[in-house]
Amino acid sequence: MVSPLAGKPVNPSDLVNVPRLVTAYFATRPDPGIPAQRVAFGTSGHRGSAFAGSFNETHILAVTQAICLYRKRAGIDGPLFIGIDTHALSEPALATALEVLAANGVDTMIDQDGGYTPTPAVSHAILGYNRGRTSGLADGIVVTPSHNPPEDGGFKYNPPNGGPADTEVTGWIERTANELIERSLDGVLRIPHQRALRASSTHRHDYVGGYVGDLGSVVDLDAIRSSGVRIGIDPLGGAAVHYWAPLIERTGIAATVVSDIVDPTFRFMTADWDGKIRMDCSSPYAMTRLLGLRDQFDVAFANDTDADRHGIVTRTAGLMNPNHFLAASISYLFGHRKGWRADSAVGKTLVSSSMIDRVTAQLGRRLLEVPVGFKWFVDGLSDGSVGFGGEESAGASFLRKDGTVWTTDKDGLILGLLAAEITAVTGRDPSELYTGLTDELGTAYYARADAPATAEQKKVFKGLTPERLDARQLGGEPVRQTLTAAPGNGQPFGGIKVVTENGWFAARPSGTEDVYKIYAESFRSEDHLRQIQDDAKALIGRLFETSSQPGGKPGAA
């Protein structure tokens, strides 16, 4: 249900109380006996709120010490690049982390101006430092809960490959951090903050100059400038806010930053679908401001708070569905990046649109279909065997023009600039390019929905097999495939996907809420899409019903 507050300014009385939030961060002590108050690394690090006891100083002390111990265990002894976004808890968490990093003697690279650092800028810095090195490798930390509400905090680790850490690494860090908390932080090294700032191991780094100065190697900034394409940019009060002015000044592109306000309450945002503030650049409700300005620009874009996601607004169609922009980007890039390897693949998560499959086949490229999580694209982007990796949640990155790695984490800045490049080079904005693809390849009707599920029902997805689901028809068509592992790498994805000739659905449980997610697509019609969704809910509902019966096995049909 969409809230009546969606797309409207938030009542000032409903804004987060930042002093209380920061006080809770320092004053709250988590109870390791309560699962929700333990350190838990999801696909994007540890996230939570100080108000809920799930993100506080104790957590960050323990996680940072665990990272220091992991570095010693893995032989990582180069500098650690650390950046923060604009959430209220990010500054306190940085201060806490720096106290531990300095006490452990870790060479730590903080922003030279005490500013904010997008996730891709940290990845870019790690990869730039490690280029050509075989020892003394760097790694990094990004303090961000991504597009989550203002009261949330987040903390994620990027190893020397520059991308999100894999589950083996995060699992070790998670276990070690929780053990430290259970021991009342016995074993955590720490020095006072001012001493940490003055420590010989703490260094100032020019993240902005290093990243902005290199953008011309991945995006055709000359084409954007010479075309005069008019660009609107909304950082949504996030970490990219101070990156755009230096780029505009350096290159002379016709870009306008529509707002450079930073406010940890995010009072300038309009409410998302549920009435909450959420800096989700793929949501039309959160993007109301930029959508209202679309006629002033040839193309416009926004980023979420750590700038690893993109939201593309075109004059012709408004806010693009993320899947549509991924398909258009893939079609354009593989036709215009002559420096990329002839065998470089297209990477997508298995819940992304099958329009990407059709575009990839049209290009004669290999498709790499993987589980949800950008970590699955890291190796391919690193060695150039994957030219583009993208997720349906509006996150992607791609190679430099010469076919070498740019970032191995999602980069919303280059995807926004790519929208401008497409417009400049082709004379059509990305929406028009996508419409041309549908004329050739068919129209895709795609939707993602959440359905309620108890904790016990979510466990049904564990160990689920195609035989247990026993799906024979979907949307009136015979089932061709039922998958529990991604075709691209054989890795299980914690859910199930059912495919027919003209449609599919995938279902997987949420890691943070009592819901399961249903992704569905039809190449026939909106009505067919709804039929697929209804059939999917019926299939999953039957699993839930069977598993709740005495003696019923989870997932038994």
Q: How confident is the model at residue 556 (pLDDT cuts 50, 70, 90)?
A: very low
Determine the pLDDT at residue 13. 95
CA gap 179, 70 in Å, rounded? 14
Long-range contacts, stretch 531-534, CB < 8 angstroms, 24+ apart? 531/475, 531/476, 532/474, 532/475, 532/503, 532/504, 532/505, 533/447, 533/449, 533/505
Q: How confident is the model at residue 557 (pLDDT cuts 50, 70, 90)?
A: very low
Cα Rg of the chain, angstroms: 23
Do the Cβ atoms of 286 and 269 come closer than 8 Å? yes
Residues 308-323: tens digit of each pLDDT: 999 999 999 999 999 9
CA gap 426, 23 in Å, rounded? 52
Determine the pLDDT at residue 415. 98
Determine the pLDDT at residue 555. 38
Indicate whether 549 pLDDT > 90. no
With CA atoms as reference, report the closest residue to 62 among 180, 165, 157: 180
C-alpha separations of 15 from 9, 74, 234 in Å:
11, 43, 21
Whole-number mean pLDDT of the chain?
96
With CA atoms as reference, report the closest residue to 59 among 152, 136, 197, 193: 152
CA gap 446, 462 in Å, rounded? 26
Do the Cβ atoms of 276 and 269 come closer than 8 Å? no
Return all residues near 167 (Cβ < 8 A) that are at least 6 apart.
none
Among residues 146, 227, 329, 354, the one annotated as catalytic is 146
Question: What token pair was written down for 347?
Answer: 């990477």
Determine the pLDDT at residue 554. 42
Residues 94-137: tens digit of each pLDDT: 999 999 999 999 999 999 999 999 999 999 999 999 999 999 99
Question: What token pair was written down for 17?
Answer: 């109380």
Pairing of strands 310-314, 318-319: antiparallel
The sheet carrying 515-522 orders its strands as 445-452, 515-522, 503-509, 492-499, 481-485
Question: What token pair was written down for 283?
Answer: 């949501």
- Phi and psi at residue 68, to the nearest 5°: -60, -40
Q: If phi over 0 gives left and psi between -120 and 50 gives alpha, with beta otherwise, what is residue 552? A: beta
Q: Which of the pair, 455 or 117, is modelled with greater confidence?
A: 117
Q: How confident is the model at residue 551 (pLDDT cuts 50, 70, 90)?
A: low
CA gap 6, 283 in Å, rounded? 10
SS3 373: coil
Find the range with the poorest average confidence among 174-178, 247-251, 539-543, 551-555: 551-555
Residues 29-47: tens digit of each pLDDT: 999 999 999 999 987 799 9
The sheet carrying 318-319 orders its strands as 255-257, 231-234, 299-303, 310-314, 318-319
Determine the pLDDT at residue 250. 97
* Alpha helices, H only, 160-279: 167-182, 193-198, 207-212, 221-227, 244-251
Span 519-543, average pLDDT? 97
Q: For 384-421, give one letter per residue: b (16+ CB within 10 A) or e.
A: bbbbbbbbbbbbbbbbbbeebbbbbbbbbbbbbbbbbb
CA gap 294, 319 in Å, rounded? 9
Determine the pLDDT at residue 254. 98
Indicate whether 541 pLDDT > 80. yes
Residues 499-513: tens digit of each pLDDT: 999 999 999 998 767
Q: For 23-41, give one letter per residue: b (16+ CB within 10 A) or e.
A: ebbeebebebeeeebbbbb
User: Would you call 548 a catalytic residue per the annotation?
Assistant: no
> Would you say the pTM of this structure is higher than 0.85?
yes
